[in-house]
Chains A and B, each alone.
Chain A
Amino acid sequence: MFFRMIRGTLFRQWKKMLMIAFTIALGASLATAMLSVMLDVGDKVNQELKTYGANITVVPKDSSILNNLYDVEGGDFGSSYLKEEELGKIKTIFWAFNIVDYAPFVNTEAKLDDGTKVNVVGSWFNHHMELPTGEKLDAGITSMRSWWEIKDGKWIDEQKSDNHNVAMVGTAVAEKAGVKAGDALHLTGSAGDRTVRVVGIFDAGGDEDDQIFMPLNTAQALSDLNGRVDSIEVSALTTPDNELAVKAAKEGPSSLTVSQYETWYCTAYVSSICYQIQEVITDSVASPVRQVADSEGAIMEKTELLMILITILSLIGAALGICNLVTASVMERSSEIGLMKAIGAQNGSITGLVLTEIFITAIIGGVAGFFIGFGFAQIIGQTVFGSAITMRAMVIPIVAVLVVLVTLAGSIPAIRMLLRLRPAEVLHGR
């Protein structure tokens, strides 16, 4: 009989029940969408912040002072260099998955035909890598210098066949030398000369405007620097620093206890990623670029906090909305409940009946809402970030608990209130 009554309400009052299910679905979808977006927004914003370029630089031990302070003439920097063959190892560290991009640099000098010296930088543009893990990555400055404005021509495409004797020229150099995209440029280095085709002219709004960029091997050949790399810029997704990370960065990982060390090593702090890079690249010093790393941390923290607060607001809104409607719809059934009491139903059985009905409705609404919400999250992800929002497993229990709690909170006070009424009052139209 119990189930018959429930079936009766669900089927005969389907319009009302549909409305409750609909509202619960709305609330659940709101919660799902906001939670999914909130949990993923850190990663997404982090990706976006990659437009600021590298947040880690890797240089040979003891060499940075040499070339920055003493302005050593191009060519031989002594024994301080990084090995080109080790570059791939960066993608093998513990946090390899968080390394989104990186590019090696080799700096040298060359003479133009009119005798002027220019800075030549060899690097990757969109260097294609296929990793042992099966992951494919196009790394290089095409993505790491996204702020460059290409004034003429286009970016160098390393994956094309004629990809060796090409160059991109900074606006300042281009102006001085009077070259434009498509021109040939003859460069004489200390160990050889090359005629390169100018593929693009760029405006970087900084020192790089005085430089010529070309593929790594071409630049190396100019000054007999084969296999050598001066520095590596790494763009990694990181977790904003906390006290532990600050301590590790300041006092060195050796100052940490074993368990602290493990936590630190297994968290994507910028300092632990630096440490891991130093482990795989011989004689290297990896340090965070404060300008990028710190700002990233601040912005991500703010964005996440903002999203958390908006999520909380919408969760409260959804909860109160559902609660409200459930209360309203339970109150509406006063005469029915009065009747059931009049024919001798126990309070417990009435409560059970009403709750079961509401819960069946809530489950239907909640499941529907979950999928709708997931859809909303994807719309947000695709529209704003152009990529899908990852579904976190933890959203499901949160939404489920929310729906259950809110439905309970909405129905129980109303049921209790109705149970206090005397059947006669309810039946004889108040």
Chain B
Amino acid sequence: MKKRRMYFRMITASLIRRRSRMLVALLSIAIGATILSGLVTIYYDVPRQMGAQFRNYGANMIFTAVDGSFTQDDINSGLSYIKKDDIVGVAPYRYENVRIREKSILAAGTDMEGAKAASPYWSIDGEWPSKDSEILIGANAAEQYELRIGDDVTVSYTPENAQVSGDNGEDIVEDETIDFKVVGILDTGGNEEDYVYMSMSDLEKLTNSETKIDVAELSISASSDQLKKYSQEISNQVSSINARLIKRVTASETTVLTKLQALVLLVTVVVLALTMICVATTMTAVVTERRKEIGLRKAIGASDKSIIWEFMGESMLLGCVGGILGSVLGFVFAQQVSIHVFSSSISFRPLLVPITILVSVAVTGISSLMPIKSATDVDPALVLKGE
């Protein structure tokens, strides 16, 4: 018991009284550990964070009707099969042919908030419709009708039964009309520019009909395998909808994301390997410096084993402290990266703390063992004499 106390007394004395040297070593270990825990945290978080970025591409799954159309309840029951956190955005769409100034145009009724989330790439000049009787108009359509933000526009809808009789262009049955205000012009570079968008309730009013949805776009943050599973499950379980993946988005995302993760992995491996070697050389230098002390201890009768025990104990204690410091700093670093790059916080991985500490202890231990061994192998007389 007494002996152990002396052991700790010696180690702590060495760590505390040789402060500057030990700080050098500790700093080096802490840097290594910081890089280890920081990069590994980032590596594990990249797919999630980057995956969220890829949601910029918009919907990766669509619900289509098995028979005609479906309702919001069908969507909700479909969504219940998807993990809540994975859902980025859901936008239901209903398409109807309407007329503006007697020219036919496709109108889409949707949930504006959902559309915003599911199609983040939509570039709106002006504002998103937020109230009744506000309309979003595609850039091409706006050009065609020479409509600008703030303009009033009357949208009319000819009920289906009337269209049959009104074939030759004369209005026989009175149209439903609503006066809208143009609040935004939509620029996507795609077909959307040819349509007008209004709220679901406005379209229902206009067409004087009940809720029906033609298609729903979903943006889901999940791997392509997971998405496949979701779509099959939903198609099987919800009879009224058919869930399909948008291959262009899902396949490309998998390709690019895999590469990005491979990139971060490889970078992590290279950086870690080099850093660990760096830590090892520093530890070697720090221990080599103490050859004389090792010689002295041998001269006054220390066995090789006890010298190795003491010096290793010291190094490993240092490794342990460095590892703890590094885990904390690494998490802080990863957190900063996450906040700056992805504007979201990172989840703490408790398992990484013992791993970081273990690796630091192992690296410092192994890198000190060699110079300690070589110092104990030499005759103490030579070590003491040799300057």
- Which A residues contact B (CB, under 8 angstroms)? 16, 19, 22-23, 26-27, 29-30, 33-34, 37, 41, 45, 48-49, 51-53, 57, 64-65, 68-70, 146-149, 203-206, 250, 287-295, 298-299, 302-303, 305-307, 309-310, 313-314, 316-318, 320-322, 324-325, 327-329, 331-332, 335, 376, 379-380, 383-385
- Residue ID in chain A nearest B336 by CB atoms: A309
Are B271 and A30 in contact, CB atoms less than 8 angstroms apart? yes
Chain B residues in 8 Å Cβ range of A206: 246-248
Query: Taking the complex as formed, is B127 at the interface, i.e. its CB lies under 8 A from any CB of chain A?
Result: no
In addition to A65-B141, A328-B286, A329-B285, 18 A-B residue pairs with Cβ atoms within 8 Å of each other are A26-B281, A30-B271, A45-B259, A64-B140, A69-B105, A147-B250, A147-B252, A287-B189, A290-B187, A291-B58, A299-B53, A309-B337, A313-B35, A318-B275, A325-B28, A325-B282, A380-B270, A384-B259
How far is A206 from B190 in the complex, measured between Cα atoms in Å?
Answer: 15
Are B252 and A146 in contact, CB atoms less than 8 angstroms apart? yes
What are 16 contact pairs spanning A and B, CB under 8 A? A23-B281, A27-B274, A27-B278, A37-B263, A52-B57, A65-B140, A205-B247, A289-B189, A290-B190, A291-B58, A309-B340, A320-B27, A324-B24, A325-B285, A328-B25, A331-B20
Are A205 and B246 in contact, CB atoms less than 8 angstroms apart? yes
How far is A121 from B28 in the complex, measured between Cα atoms in Å?
Answer: 63
Query: Taking the complex as formed, is B260 at the interface, i.e. its CB lies under 8 A from any CB of chain A?
Result: yes
For B280-309 the 0/1 string (1 means CB < 8 A from A) is 011011101100000000000000000000
Interface residues on B, range: 35 or more
Are B248 and A205 in contact, CB atoms less than 8 angstroms apart? yes
Chain B residues in 8 Å Cβ range of A320: 27-28, 31
Query: Taking the complex as formed, is B21 at the interface, i.e. its CB lies under 8 A from any CB of chain A?
Result: yes
Query: Taking the complex as formed, is B121 at the interface, i.e. its CB lies under 8 A from any CB of chain A?
Result: yes
Query: Taking the complex as formed, is B13 at the interface, i.e. its CB lies under 8 A from any CB of chain A?
Result: no
Partner of A321 from B31, B120, B248 at Cβ < 8 Å? B31
Are B267 and A37 in contact, CB atoms less than 8 angstroms apart? yes
Q: What is the minimal beta-carbon distance from B351 to any residue of chain A, in angstroms?
A: 21
Q: How many A-B residue pairs have CB under 8 A?
A: 222
9 closest A-B pairs by beta carbon, nearest first, are A205-B247, A321-B278, A295-B56, A147-B251, A289-B189, A51-B252, A294-B121, A30-B274, A290-B121
With A34-B271, A380-B270 as known contacts, state yes or no: A302 contacts B247, CB within 8 Å: no
With A27-B278, A324-B24 as known contacts, state yes or no: A309 contacts B341, CB within 8 Å: yes
Are B256 and A51 in contact, CB atoms less than 8 angstroms apart? yes
How far is A57 from B189 in the complex, measured between Cα atoms in Å?
Answer: 8
Partner of B270 from A30, A149, A293, A328 at Cβ < 8 Å? A30
Interface of B, helix, strand, loop or mixed by DSSP: helix
Q: What is the minimal beta-carbon distance from B48 to any residue of chain A, in angstroms?
A: 13
- Residue ID in chain A nearest B343 by CB atoms: A302
How far is A320 from B329 in the complex, measured between Cα atoms in Å?
Answer: 15
How far is A158 from B262 in the complex, measured between Cα atoms in Å?
Answer: 34
For B6-24 the 0/1 string (1 means CB < 8 A from A) is 0000000000000011001
With A204-B247, A321-B279, A380-B270 as known contacts, state yes or no: A298 contacts B53, CB within 8 Å: yes
Q: What is the minimal beta-carbon distance from B299 to any residue of chain A, in angstroms?
A: 14
Query: Taking the complex as formed, is B323 at the interface, i.e. its CB lies under 8 A from any CB of chain A?
Result: no
For B107-143 the 0/1 string (1 means CB < 8 A from A) is 0000000000001111101000000000000001100
Are B340 and A52 in contact, CB atoms less than 8 angstroms apart? no
Are A149 and B248 in contact, CB atoms less than 8 angstroms apart? no
Query: Taking the complex as formed, is B92 at the interface, i.e. its CB lies under 8 A from any CB of chain A?
Result: no
Chain B residues in 8 Å Cβ range of A317: 31-32, 34-35, 271, 275, 278
Chain A residues in 8 Å Cβ range of B35: 313-314, 317
Query: Taking the complex as formed, is B70 at the interface, i.e. its CB lies under 8 A from any CB of chain A?
Result: no
Are A293 and B259 in contact, CB atoms less than 8 angstroms apart? no
- Residue ID in chain A nearest B105 by CB atoms: A69
Query: Taking the complex as formed, is B39 at the interface, i.e. its CB lies under 8 A from any CB of chain A?
Result: yes
Chain A residues in 8 Å Cβ range of B337: 306, 309-310
With A290-B187, A295-B57 as known contacts, state yes or no: A332 contacts B289, CB within 8 Å: yes
Are B56 and A380 in contact, CB atoms less than 8 angstroms apart? no
Partner of B282 from A45, A303, A309, A321 at Cβ < 8 Å? A321
Are A291 and B53 in contact, CB atoms less than 8 angstroms apart? no
Chain B residues in 8 Å Cβ range of A41: 263
Partner of A26 from B53, B120, B274, B285 at Cβ < 8 Å? B274
- Residue ID in chain B nearest A203 by CB atoms: B247
- Residue ID in chain A nearest B188 by CB atoms: A290
Are B263 and A384 in contact, CB atoms less than 8 angstroms apart? yes
Query: Taking the complex as formed, is B106 at the interface, i.e. its CB lies under 8 A from any CB of chain A?
Result: yes
Query: Taking the complex as formed, is B245 at the interface, i.e. its CB lies under 8 A from any CB of chain A?
Result: yes
Q: What is the minimal beta-carbon distance from A428 to any residue of chain B, in angstroms?
A: 13
For B44-58 the 0/1 string (1 means CB < 8 A from A) is 001001100110111
Query: Taking the complex as formed, is B191 at the interface, i.e. its CB lies under 8 A from any CB of chain A?
Result: yes
Q: Which of A70, A289, A295, A317 has the most C-beta atoms of chain B within 10 angstroms of its own C-beta? A: A317
Chain B residues in 8 Å Cβ range of A53: 248, 252
Chain A residues in 8 Å Cβ range of B284: 19
How far is A49 from B257 in the complex, measured between Cα atoms in Å?
Answer: 10
- Residue ID in chain B nearest A322 by CB atoms: B278
Are A23 and B340 in contact, CB atoms less than 8 angstroms apart? no
Query: Taking the complex as formed, is B277 at the interface, i.e. its CB lies under 8 A from any CB of chain A?
Result: yes
Query: Taking the complex as formed, is B181 at the interface, i.e. its CB lies under 8 A from any CB of chain A?
Result: no
Chain A residues in 8 Å Cβ range of B161: none
Are A147 and B248 in contact, CB atoms less than 8 angstroms apart? yes
With A328-B24, A380-B267 as known contacts, state yes or no: A26 contacts B247, CB within 8 Å: no
With A48-B255, A49-B256 as known contacts, state yes or no: A23 contacts B282, CB within 8 Å: yes
Q: What is the minimal beta-carbon distance from B59 to any residue of chain A, in angstroms?
A: 10
